Structure 1
Amino acid sequence: MWIRWSQISIPFKGVLVGKKSKKDSRKQVKWEEPLNSFLKLNFDGASKGNPGRSGAGRVLTDQNGLIVKAASYRLPNGSNNLIEARELLEVVKIASNMGLSKLHIGGDSQIITSGLISKKVTNWELQFVLGEVWNLLLRFDDFKISHYYREANQLADGLSDLG
């Protein structure tokens, strides 16, 4: 049975953005459907204790927003950033092995998404893992990398907590 992402009911909590002023500015945060002819891969990693018990979650949706695959995994203990980077590497490997040509990757870790986009990371372990991700991304005809607030990545976030 196929389920559209928009059919999944998840309570929404507004996110405070920018500096707090007399008038709170709130931003509507929502999941976006993939670009036309792209598959979208939302990923997340979680580490309880940092480093501590770790898990990962991933959701692959087609251009219509239908969930193609979703998974939750228990991982060895590690830091949250390294777990996020390793999960990203795994999902890009899976997408590459599936023979996908256009991929839109989305995660809620600003450090990982920014590090991947800028190719500037100070931690050598993250640098190594993100370098492997870039090498795999070059196999795709086209790809997009996006950072999302946790509220827009709730399904992958919830799956990572289950792992």
Structure 2
Amino acid sequence: MLDKVCLGQAREYFYCVSKAKQVTSRVVIPIKWYKPNLGWHKLNTDGASLGNPGKAGGGGLIRNSDEVWIKGYSRSIGYTTSVMAILWALRDGLYLAIQLGIRNLEVELDAKVIVEMLNNVDSSNKNFSPLLLDCRSLMASLTQFRVAHVFREAKRCTDYLAKNGCYTREDFVIFDISPSNDLDNLLIFVFDSNSLYCYRP
């Protein structure tokens, strides 16, 4: 009888003080590329480094509020880190947007650290300062601009252009139309705006 009482008290103690297993619920978030507001353009950029540091490239894409491809680009950057490649690609995209006469620009990146550096004027890093200052200066010459983080899945075409930069022989290439010349690559440019990817936090 005493054994049953002790066992019951031990069981009660265990359930009262032990950490209950937390059940985490997963929410599926549809990921897609959203077109900018009327009168705005959107620049998506990305950088890639094969090895980090390694052979690097950058790329980006400018689209208007009708989701129309305005310009795309790829750059061979040389040997560097992915963060430097992303900054190079961003600088190229901002410069190209200004050359095209674009005044209102949304910028989307999948690198939160770069987004934070751009949005925080006090943020600086001696390794990135020259490129970071160039980017801030170019953004300041626009009438209106916004910088935001976006999930990688929402910019597959930009990822494609950045990786293309790792392998291109030319320093800088501008694409007036999609560089995709086969069905698989062409589909990448369709996926961005069709919620075909999901993020599960």
- TM-score strictly above 0.5: yes
1:86 aligned to 2:71? no
User: What CA deviation, in whole Å up to 9, does each residue of 1:18-39 have, x standing for no partner?
Assistant: xx95322222211110121011
What amino acid maps onto 1:98 in structure 2? Answer: L
The structure whose Rg is larger is 2
Instruction: List alignment gaps of at least 5 residues for structure 2.
Output: 1-21, 166-201
Q: Structure 1: which 5+ runs fail to align?
A: 1-19
The one-letter amino acid of 1:139's match is S
TM-score using structure 1 length:
0.81
- Runs of 4+ in structure 1 off by over 3 angstroms are none
Partner of 2:36: 34
Change (3 A) 1:120 1:81: farther
Deviation at 1:122, TM superposition (A): 4.9
Structure 2 distance, partners of 1:153, 1:126, is: 24
The aligned residue for residue 11 of structure 1 is none
Conservation of the 8 A alpha-carbon contact between 2:62 and 2:70:
yes
**Contact 2:44–2:60 (Cα < 8 Å) also in 1:** yes
**How many residues end up aligned between the 2 structures?**
144
Deviations 1:6-60 (CA, angstroms, capped at 9, x unpaired): xxxxxxxxxxxxxx95322222211110121011111100001011011112111
Q: CA RMSD in A?
A: 1.6
Q: CA separation of 1:147/1:103 partners in 2, compared to 1, >3 Å: closer, same or farther? A: same
1:7-156 equivalences in 2 (<5 Å): 21-156=23-158
Deviations 1:34-91 (A, max 9, x none): 1210111111000010110111121110111111112222221111101101111111
TM-score (ref. length: structure 2)? 0.67
Which one has the bigger helix percentage? Answer: 2
Partner of 2:162: 160
Task: Please report how far the alpha carbon of residue 127 of structure 1 lies from its aligned counterpart in structure 2 after TM superposition.
Answer: 2.7
- % identical equivalent positions: 25
